[in-house]
Chain A
Amino acid sequence: MTSRSLGQFYPVASPVHDLDPRAKIVATAVFVVGLFLIDSTVGLLFVAAALVALVAVSRIPAGTFLRLLRPMFFIVALTVLIQVLFSREGATLLEWGILEIHSGGLRLGFFLALRILLLVSSAGLLTATTAPVALADGIEDLLSPLRRVRFPAHEVAMMMTIALRFIPTLGEEAEKIKGAQAARGADFSRGGPLRRARSLVPVLVPLTVGAFRRADELAEAMESRGYRGGEGRTRYRELRFRKGDAFALAATVLVLLVGILL
């Protein structure tokens, strides 16, 4: 049906899933910034160990988590390759024609690859352990101070929720349309890139038409249920910032500090 990929929610019960979405969002943001302040490989490895422990606590099977990261492997490999081939720092390890591999390049490549992987893993862990709606609620709440400068926090969060909510729906729709066209003899894997791109027209046209139809229907459904925007709207699920959330935030900062100092 749908292939699992980066940014997909993985619904199991775990202490990480239970955290307040705001705590997780802030912790992830802090983590991402912190990663760029760490300049030693040892520091990164320490932070990586902490993240691996956190993934274990989240009860997401290691294999599944790695599969969530799969779309990133190409970029990581490319980064390593560029560093290894073009960096001329440190001792020369290998010389072959115009190719030179230096120890510095190898080290830098590893360092950058680790940083990218940690960056993506942290974001992946956030979306894998936080339901899309909770994520949007969290973002709305974190953005709400900006309402004073007329920033439409609720509307932005609602648009995000809708977008996230409809990704699987559109995915399913695309699968159905692909199936219907395949039944009419369409072949999406034959020929060169141009031909393959052209073969997607019979899928993209109905998918786009369907998306607009859905948008209309959704707008009507929302209006008929009295939706008028964020003003005075209450929530079924109230966000609660508990001790555990504060602890998680503090632990994140602490791990990063150790990483920076190492």
Chain B
Amino acid sequence: MRLELKGVRYVYAAGTPFEVEALRGVSLVVEPREVLGIVGSTGSGKSTLVQHMNLLLTPTSGSVLVDGVDARSLQKSELRRRVGLVFQFPEAALFAPTVEEDVAFAPRQLGLDEEEVQERVTESLRVLGAGEFARRSPFALSGGEKRRAAIAGVLAMRPEVLVLDEPTAGLDPATREDLLALILGLREAGISVVLVSHDLDEVAEVADRVCVLHEGMLHAVGTPAEVFYKEPVQAPATVRVVSLVKESRPEIGDPVRFEETLDALRTLQGI
């Protein structure tokens, strides 16, 4: 599906001295089957933005469109199933006695029959490599395991767009790699993924397009190469290295992903 945000403005605590304008007119599109990276510094409005994608927050002004239809006209439960949102530190919302039960929460809310629920639970846990601790208490797991369980809990709704808010924050490298592989796998399966992250390197690795959010406004949108080569100071490590090489060897091009960059460097004569 195609998810579009049109001129979304959002004001927290409107009409009090604590009023904050978190988004000041953001327009962007999540195309079908793409990984859209959203980057920006702390307080730039990333988390507020993603909560508009399933209307957990309704825009103060502006609109959200699902395949061209105003999302407000859709059933809330329907919208939340189609746009799966994984909050930052989603493990904080684990609550059931076992991981299995927790993952089953969302499909049960959808009113599916028990057989279908079990099938989805098994499937989600498998995709996240969480099958082995399905019967354990979520509170007895390691940080990385908890994160896997929590993401499985959203994936079990079989969303068409999966929104991940800082999914790799505070994770060990192995789980982080697994999650990035998962994102690419989901895209192959036809699901769009929105990846919010502070980590430019991981965004460079998996994103088809990147949005830069700055103080509640869209600062730049484009392919990772377009966005990151425009301002190589705030760019992934690969782009910064290539930018240095480029001064004497412009033929290196604009590689962004790690493997791509290695290949480009290898093919350069005299290195």
Q: What residues of chain A have their CB less than 8 Å away from a CB belonging to chain B?
A: 1-2, 4, 10-12, 64, 173, 176-177, 179-187, 201-203, 205-206, 209-210
Contact = CB atoms under 8 A, between A and B. Distances in A.
A167 B239 CA distance: 45
A64 B16 contact: yes
Interface stretch (B90-98, B204-212, B216-224, B240-248): B90-98
Given A1-B12, A1-B13, A180-B90, A202 B80 contact: no
A183 B85 contact: yes
B16 A4 contact: yes
A201 B96 CA distance: 9
Contact of B94 (A173, A201, A206): A206
B157 interface: yes
B105 A202 contact: yes
A139 B139 CA distance: 39
A185 B56 CA distance: 11
Q: Is the interface of A mostly helix, strand, loop or mixed?
A: helix
**Interface range for B:** 20 to 34
Contacts of B77: 185, 187
Interface string B22-57: 000000000000000000000000000001001010
Contacts of B154: 183-184
B124 to A, nearest CB: 12
Contacts of A10: 17
A12 B17 contact: yes
B84 interface: yes
Contact of B93 (A1, A64, A181, A201): A181
Contacts of A2: 13
8 contacts: A2-B13, A183-B84, A183-B85, A184-B80, A184-B93, A202-B96, A205-B95, A209-B139
B92 A177 contact: yes
Interface in B47-88: 51, 54, 56, 76-77, 80-81, 84-87
